Amino acid sequence: MNIFKKTEDSQQITILNDFRQRINSAKMPENVKHIAERELEIMSKMSPASAEYTISLSYIDYLVSLPWDRKTSDNLDLNQAKKILDERHYGLNDVKERILEHLAVKVLVMNKKPHILVVDDEEIARNNIEHILKKENYDVVTASNGVEAIEKLNTSSFDVVLTDLKMEKIDGLVLLEKVKNKYPDVQVIMITAYAAVDSAIEAIKKGAFHYIAKPFRLDEVRSTVKHALDKKLSTISTKGSVLCFTGPPGTGKTSIGKSIADALGRKFARISVGGMKDEAEIRGHRRTYAGAMPGRIIEEIRRAESLNPVIMLDEIDKVGGQDFKGDPESALLEVLDPEQNQSFIDHYLDVPFDLSNVMFIATANIAENIQGPLRDRMEIIEFSGYTEDEKINIALLHLIPKQIREQGLSDYPPNFSVEAVSKIINDYTREAGTRNLERQISNICRKIATEFVYHKESIRLVNITPELVERYLGPRKYFIEVADENNRIGVVTGLVWMETGGEIIFIESARMKGLGNLILTGSLGNVMRESAQAALSYIRSNASSFNISENILEGYDIHIHIPAGAIPKDGPSAGATIAASLISLFTGKPARRDVAVSGELTLSGRILPVGGIKEKILAARRAGVKTIILPFKNKVDIENLDPKVIKGLEIILTDRIEDIISRLLV
C-alpha cells in the first residue's frame, strides 16, 4: 500500500514539476503567470483523483499552450502581396486594389518610426531620457521648456510627449491641456518628483497616459513609452479597420482572405459565426461549468500557434441576436474593437489576452444585413457575381488546374475546350459565383481518374468537348428559363437580389370568383406583400388610364403567386413587376417573357430605384432575358458597370409604369 502511495506521490510531483517548468517557459505576462502559479499551488493540494484536479490541470495546460508572445513576422512587401493576389485570382481588380490600399496603410503605420518629444528643464534628465529612447530606435526631439515644446508641437507631429511637471511659465499641466485640446490622439506621459505624485494623478485625470517618478528606472521609461505608443497606434483609424468582404457565395472571398494571410506570411483560420446564438461560442464558458471550453477565437489562436493570425469571421450578417444565452454580437463587437480587444477576456481563460495583433476579416452575403454597430467597424469591400466570360477564364486558369492537381491527373491533364466550359456553366450551374462550376469540373476529373484506374489502357490525354461533358455529367440540369417558354397573360419576369446573387422570378396573377380578396403566396416577406397591396391599389385608383373597368374586383378574388421553390423572397423591388402582371391580367394582354422588370412602385405610379443592379443583370443574362427595364434613378449604377456586363442586352430606364406597360405587353 505504502509503495503504491509513494509512486503515486512521485508521479504527481513529476507532473507538478513539469507544469512549473512549462509555466516558466510559456512567456506569459506577469499577472497571468502569477495566476497559473496560484492554480498550480491549489492543484498540488488536491487529490489527483478529484474532478477539480483534472479541471485545474486542463486549465493550466491550456494557459501554457497559448502563444503569449509567439507571432509570425509580417512580410510587408506590397509588390509581393500584389503578385500573390494576381497569380491566384483572375479579375477582381477593384477588390485587389482596395486590399492593397488597406495593407499599405498598415505598412505605413507599422513601419513609421515613432516620434517622441521630451520636455524637461533639467538638462541631465532630458539627455538621459533622450538617450534611453533613441536606443529603442525612436525619433526623439527635446525641448527645455513649455514654450519651446509648443513651438515644436506646432511644426511637427508626435506620437508621445514626455513632459516634466514642474517648469517655469508653462508647466506640465498647462502643456498637457494644450496638447490634449489640439492633438487628442497624442499620448502624454508626466515626469514628476516622488513628492509630487498627487499632482501626477491629477494629470492622469486630465487625460495624461501615465506618469514616471524621478529618479526613474530605465525599464520603466521604456515600458511606459511602449504602452503609450501601442495605445496611440491602436487608436489610428479605429473606424473601418476591419475588412469585410460582401457578395454572393463562390465569388472568391475566402480564397482572397487566405491569399492575404499568405502574402503577409501569417497563419489563417476561419470561424463561421452565422447562426451563432450562444455568446460562449465566442467568449468561452466559465470554468465552473461541466465540460467548459474556451471560445472559438482563443481556440483558433492556440491552434495557429501565433498571436497574429488572419482570422476570417464568416457570415457575420447572420449572427444570432440576443437571447438567454447572451449576445454573441456584442462579444464580436468587443473582439473587433481595437480599444477593447487588447485585453479580451475569454470566460474560460479568465485572464486578458491581447487580440490587437490579429487581423480580422469578416465575410457576409449582404452588407445591409450586418448589424449597424458591427458594420460601423468595418471597411466593406464588395465582391460581385461573374459574367460567363469571367467564369470561363477563372475555370481555365484556376479551377481546372487546381482540380487536375487534386484528382491526381497531373501526368495526363485533360484539356478542357472553351465550349465545354461554357456548356458546364450554362447547362449544369445556375449561380453568381463559381462554386458549383468547380464542383462539376471536379466531378469530371474524378470520373476520368476512375476510368484510368480501372482501365490502364485508357490512360491518355483526354480532350473535353461539350459532348464529353454531357457523357460525364448526365442530362443538362438547367434550361434557359425565358427563351424556351411562350408569352402568357398575367405572368411577368422579375428580378430579385438575394444572398446567392441575383435571380429571376416569374410573377403570376390570376382572377377567380370570390369576395374581392387579395391572396398572396410563394414565401413572400412583409415588404413584398405590401408592395403587392400597393400595386393593386395603384391600378384600382388609375383603372381608367389602363382601360380597365373600375369594378374589376367586384365578385372576384385576385391571387398573386411568385413560384421558384420555397425560397423566401422579400424587398420592395418587385412592386413594378407585380403591377405589370396585374395589368396584363386585367387587360388580357400577354407579357413578353424575355423582358425583365425591376423597380419599386409608389402609390402615385412613380418607379423608385432598387439595389443589386449588377447581380440582377447577370441573373437576367443567365436566364436568356433580352431586355431589362430598370428605374431611371439607377442610371449611375448602369454607367459604373463594366460594359461587358450589359453587352448585347437592351437596357431601358424609366420612372413611369406606363412606359413599362407599353414595352412589356404584346
* Contact pattern for ligand ADP over residues 519 through 538, marking x by CB under 6 A: --------------------
407 sits near ligand ADP (criterion: CB under 6 A): no
Nearer to ligand ADP, 91 or 352 (CB): 91
Burial 406-421 (b: 16+ CB within 10 A, else e): ebebeeebbebeeebb
C-alpha grid cell, residue 177: 491641456
Minimum Å gap between C-beta 623 and ligand ADP is 22
Stretch that binds ligand ADP, among 84-92, 282-290, 351-359, 473-481 (CB under 6 A): 84-92
371: nearest Cα among 487, 273, 467, 281: 273
Contact between 253 and ligand ADP per CB under 6 A: yes
Write down the least CB distance from residue 333 to ligand ADP, Å. 23
Residue 320 sits in the site that holds ligand ADP (CB under 6 A): no
Smallest distance from the beta carbon of 271 to ligand ADP, in angstroms?
14
Contact 62, 22 (CB under 8 A): no
Measured CA distances, 229 to 28, 111, 232, 359 (Å): 21, 13, 5, 19
159 lines the binding site for ligand ADP (CB under 6 A): no
Using the minimum distance from each CB to ligand ADP, give the nearer residue, 8 or 94. 94
Residue tagged active-site, from 531, 573, 581, 598: 573
Burial class (CB in 10 A: 0-12, 13-18, 19+), 349: buried
> Applying CB under 6 A, what is the total number of residues that bind ligand ADP?
17
Residue 249 contacts ligand ADP per CB under 6 A: yes
Are 194 and 214 in contact by the 8 Å Cβ rule? The answer is yes
> Which of 253, 569, 614, 616 does the annotation list as catalytic?
616
Least CB distance to ligand ADP at residue 421 (A): 14
Say whether 647 sits in a helix, a strand or coil. Answer: coil
Kindly provide the b/e burial profile for residues 63-96, where b requires at least 16 CB atoms within 10 angstroms of the residue's own CB.
bbebbbeebbebebeeeebbebbeebbbebeebb
Q: Does 501 bind ligand ADP (CB under 6 A)?
A: no
Secondary structure (3-state) at 507: strand
- Contact residue for ligand ADP among 72, 251, 493, 531 (CB under 6 A): 251
CB of 334 to ligand ADP, least distance (A): 25
Binder among 10, 93, 223, 255 for ligand ADP (CB under 6 A): 255
Within 351-497, where are the H helices? 372-376, 388-394, 400-406, 418-428, 435-454, 466-473
Q: Does 91 bind ligand ADP (CB under 6 A)?
A: yes
- Determine, following the binding rule CB under 6 A, whether residue 145 of this chain makes contact with ligand ADP: no
Q: Does the footprint of ligand ADP cover residue 569 (CB under 6 A)?
A: no
Of 403 and 531, the one with the shorter C-beta distance to ligand ADP is 403
Determine which residue in the list 145, 254, 340, 417 makes contact with ligand ADP, applying CB under 6 A.
254
434 binds ligand ADP (CB under 6 A): yes
For position 57 contacting ligand ADP by CB under 6 A, the verdict is: no
DSSP of 40-85: HHHHHTS-TTSHHHHHHHHHHHHHHHS-SS--PPP---HHHHHHHH
Task: Report the amino acid identity of residue 648.
Answer: G
**Distance, CA of 130 to CA of 578 (rounded, Å):** 74
**Residue given cell 511637427 in the structure block:** 156
Give all strands of the β-sheet with 556-561 in edge-to-edge order.
518-521, 556-561, 501-513, 491-498, 595-597, 627-631, 650-654
Q: 3-state SS of the chain: helix, strand, coil percent to 5?
A: 50, 20, 35
Does position 89 interact with ligand ADP (CB under 6 A)? The reply is: yes
Residue 6 CB, shortest distance to ligand ADP, in Å, is: 59
C-beta of 250 vs 571, nearer to ligand ADP: 250
Residue closer to ligand ADP by CB (options 190, 273) is: 273
Q: Please, how many CA atoms are within 13 Å of residue 118, restricted to the half-sphere of its CB?
A: 24
Residue 365 lies near ligand ADP (rule: CB under 6 A): no
Q: Interface with ligand ADP includes 435 (CB under 6 A)?
A: yes
CA angle 212, 218, 219 (to 5 degrees): 85
CB of 112 to ligand ADP, least distance (A): 33
As given in the structure block, the three cell numbers for residue 237 are: 483609424
Q: Which is nearer to ligand ADP, 252 or 612 (CB)?
A: 252
Stretch that binds ligand ADP, among 90-98, 105-113, 145-153, 454-462 (CB under 6 A): 90-98
Contacts 24+ apart (CB under 8 A), 133-138: 133/221, 133/222, 133/225, 136/222, 136/225, 136/226, 137/113, 138/113, 138/114, 138/225
Closest approach of ligand ADP to the CB of residue 91, in Å: 5
Strand partners, 296: none
For residue 353, give every residue at least 6 positions away whose Cβ sits within 8 Å of its Cβ, in sequence order, or none. 66, 298, 301, 343, 344, 345, 346
Q: Does 244 engage in binding with ligand ADP (CB under 6 A)?
A: no
Q: Are 282 and 227 in contact (CB under 8 A)?
A: no
Q: Binding segment for ligand ADP among 39-47, 174-182, 236-244, 433-441 (CB under 6 A)?
A: 433-441
User: Is 306 a known active-site residue?
Assistant: no
90 contributes a contact to ligand ADP by CB under 6 A: yes
Interface residue with ligand ADP among 67, 114, 146, 250 (CB under 6 A) is 250
252 scored as a contact of ligand ADP (CB under 6 A): yes
Query: At its nearest, how many Å lie between ligand ADP and the CB of residue 176?
Result: 49
**Is residue 206 flagged as an active site residue?**
no
Reading the block at residue 528, the C-alpha cell is 413584398
Residue 328 and residue 340 in contact, taking contact as beta carbons nearer than 8 Å: no
- Name the minimum Å distance from CB 450 to ligand ADP: 22
CB of 249 or CB of 599, closer to ligand ADP: 249
Of the candidate spans 34-42, 162-170, 248-256, 318-326, the one that interacts with ligand ADP by CB under 6 A turns out to be 248-256
Q: Which three cell numbers stand for residue 608?
A: 423608385
Residue 295 as a binder of ligand ADP (CB under 6 A): the answer is no
- DSSP states of 534-555: HHHHHHHHTGGGGT--TTTTTT
**Does residue 438 interact with ligand ADP by CB under 6 A?**
yes
Cα separation, 518 vs 512, whole angstroms: 11
Question: Smallest gap, in angstroms, from Cβ of residue 302 to ligand ADP?
Answer: 24
Q: Rounded to the nearest whole angstrom, what is the least distance from the CB of residue 555 to ligand ADP in the complex? A: 51
Q: Classify the phi-psi angles of 91: left when phi > 0, otherwise alpha if psi is within -120 to 50, otherwise beta.
A: left
Shorter beta-carbon distance to ligand ADP: residue 223 or 255: 255
What DSSP character marks residue 459? -
Residue sitting closest to ligand ADP (CB): 252
Binding residues vs ligand ADP (CB under 6 A): 89-92, 249-255, 394, 398, 433-435, 438
Residues serving a catalytic function are 573, 616
